[in-house]
A and B are shown apart, each in its own frame.
Chain A
Amino acid sequence: GQNIDQPTEMTATEGAIVQINCTYQTSGFNGLFWYQQHAGEAPTFLSYNVLDGLEEKGRFSSFLSRSKGYSYLLLKELQMKDSASYLCAVQDSNYQLIWGAGTKLIIKP
């Protein structure tokens, strides 16, 4: 079967760095997405990786290793507004998005 694994919840301190991991097993691979979702709102796009390596975008970076079925989202200089759920999603060979359950990130002052 297809599955995406990511931690259920993480806690970090304002100003610090946090890494959210995602491992996946899917039928084929056509890219991995990270989304941010605040409670009661729709997800918003953060990043898309299809090749191995690190993609940096401001305070957020995303890494992919296709051979390991692994990705992480790195958040730097954490701000209170970064408290949200972070969803990892993989696009399989049929271009269907397989979603992880999300990681709830709690930022403490």
Chain B
Amino acid sequence: GAVVSQHPSRVICKSGTSVKIECRSLDFQATTMFWYRQFPKKSLMLMATSNEGSKATYEQGVEKDKFLINHASLTLSTLTVTSAHPEDSSFYICRATPGDMNTEAFFGQGTRLTVV
């Protein structure tokens, strides 16, 4: 199957700092990328959908100024958590699709963010 690389896999940062998470599709062009957040023992919560070259569409309740998403190319999307707080600590996962929605979705490895 196709490969989606997410980096870093784990990050610890101090309150008030910003953290950037990268999601790359290694062997296909990802027209659409999705960013999810997952709390322990909970399902995936969609944060935003990004299409290459356009602004991301955020889900209700997700602060777009806090969670900055950039999808500058067909193989790279980034999520920046700005002014991080301990409550932002979570597991963040990206998902990429090649454009054909009727196929499996390819996930990155996930990023465990801990804000201290």
The interface of chain A, by Cβ under 8 A from chain B, is 30-31, 33, 40-45, 48, 50, 87, 91, 95-97, 99-102, 104
Contacts and interface: CB of A to CB of B under 8 A. Distances in A.
A44 to B, nearest CB: 7
B107 A44 contact: yes
Contacts of B93: 42-43
Interface residues of B, number: 21
Contact residues of B: prevailing secondary structure: loop
B36 to A, nearest CB: 9
Contact of A30 (B91, B101, B104, B107): B101
A96 B110 contact: no
A43 B104 CA distance: 11
Contacts of B43: 87, 99-102
A40 B9 CA distance: 10
B105 A45 contact: yes
B46 A48 contact: no
B103 interface: yes
Contact of B1 (A45, A95, A101): A45
A104 B104 CA distance: 22
A45 B104 contact: yes
A82 to B, nearest CB: 18
A99 B44 contact: yes
A42 B101 contact: no
- A-B pairs, top 10 by smallest CB distance, nearest first, are A45-B104, A95-B101, A42-B110, A42-B107, A101-B43, A99-B43, A99-B44, A42-B93, A42-B109, A43-B107
Nearest to A9: B41
B64 interface: no
Contacts of A99: 43-44
Given A43-B44, A97-B46, A33 B104 contact: yes
Nearest to A91: B101
B24 to A, nearest CB: 14
Contacts of B6: 42
A41 B93 CA distance: 9
